[in-house]
Amino acid sequence: MKHETHGSLALEPGKRYTYGDYRLWPEDERWELIGGVPYAMSPGPLRRHQRLVSLLITQLVNWFEGKPCMPLVSPLDVFLPEGAEERDDIDTVVQPDLVVVCDEAKLIDEGVMGGPDFVIEILSPSTAWRDQTEKRDLYERHGVREFWTINPETLDATIWLRQGEGFGVPCSGSLRVGLESTLFPGLVLKIRVRL
């Protein structure tokens, strides 16, 4: 059988993988699993992407200081089980750029078990389509209450808010002028510096 090679890991085409497989892979390789399909998270993000993540996590940490919710930054495994499967049997594990988790029961040593309350994905050429389609659908299905995608070149954002069982019609805005979270009134994220 022909194997597809990613880094030092040989993957079998068509095979479905779980977290039990994933956690045995080399630690220097970053992956996401969506429905058992592995997606390499390498090479690492571009400098502009990382600078934006750094600026945003700083603002989130400062704003949530003393509040019950916890902001976290990638690399961080977010487990999105379809039912009550054991951790090693979960076949969807993603690494959003930034999350905020308000339910302490979701915080596990390995990351976050279940949908965070707030997710921000910084778009990269290699992941933009997946972030805005497959991962958006996953976040919607797993109860994320507010989801932003941000273009690191323009600082424009697309924002999805939970309305009932799913996301409503997205709206847009810009980090250059400041974006206020609907979920966390008073939380305004703004980028004032060059990336």
Residues contacting residue 11 through CB under 8 Å, at least 6 positions apart: 3, 4, 5, 17, 38
Domain assignment present for 131:
yes
* pTM of this structure: 0.91
Domain assignment present for 194:
no
* Predicted pLDDT at 130: 87
Domain assignment present for 57:
yes
Q: Which domain holds residue 27?
A: 4-40
Q: What is the CATH number of the domain that holds 117?
A: 3.90.1570.10
Q: Are residues 26 and 105 in the same domain?
A: no
Q: Are residues 88 and 129 in the same domain?
A: yes
CB 60 within 8 A of CB 72: no
Quick one: the chain helix, strand, coil %, rounded to 5? 20, 30, 50
How many alpha carbons fall within 13 Å on the CB side of residue 58? 8
Strand partners, 130: none
Q: Is the pLDDT of residue 5 over 80?
A: no
Domain assignment present for 195:
no
Out of 13-22, 36-45, 75-84, 153-162, pick the least confident.
Answer: 36-45
CB 152 within 8 A of CB 130: no
Q: Are residues 54 and 126 in the same domain?
A: yes
Domain total in the chain: 2
Q: Are residues 13 and 95 in the same domain?
A: no
Q: Are residues 107 and 179 in the same domain?
A: yes
* Predicted pLDDT at 42: 66
pLDDT average, residue stretch 59-66: 98
User: At which residue do the structure tokens 């090679």 appear?
Assistant: 5
Region of 114 please: left (phi>0), alpha (psi -120 to 50) or beta.
Answer: left
Q: What are the phi and psi torsion angles at 96 (to 5°)?
A: -60, 155
Q: Are residues 153 and 109 in the same domain?
A: yes
pLDDT tier for residue 25 given thresholds of 50, 70 and 90: confident
Q: Are residues 84 and 128 in the same domain?
A: yes
pLDDT tens digit sequence for 132-187:
899 999 999 999 999 999 999 999 999 999 999 999 999 999 999 999 999 999 99
* Predicted pLDDT at 4: 40
Rounded to the nearest integer, the mean pLDDT of the chain is 90
Q: Are residues 28 and 102 in the same domain?
A: no
Q: Is the pLDDT of residue 52 over 50?
A: yes
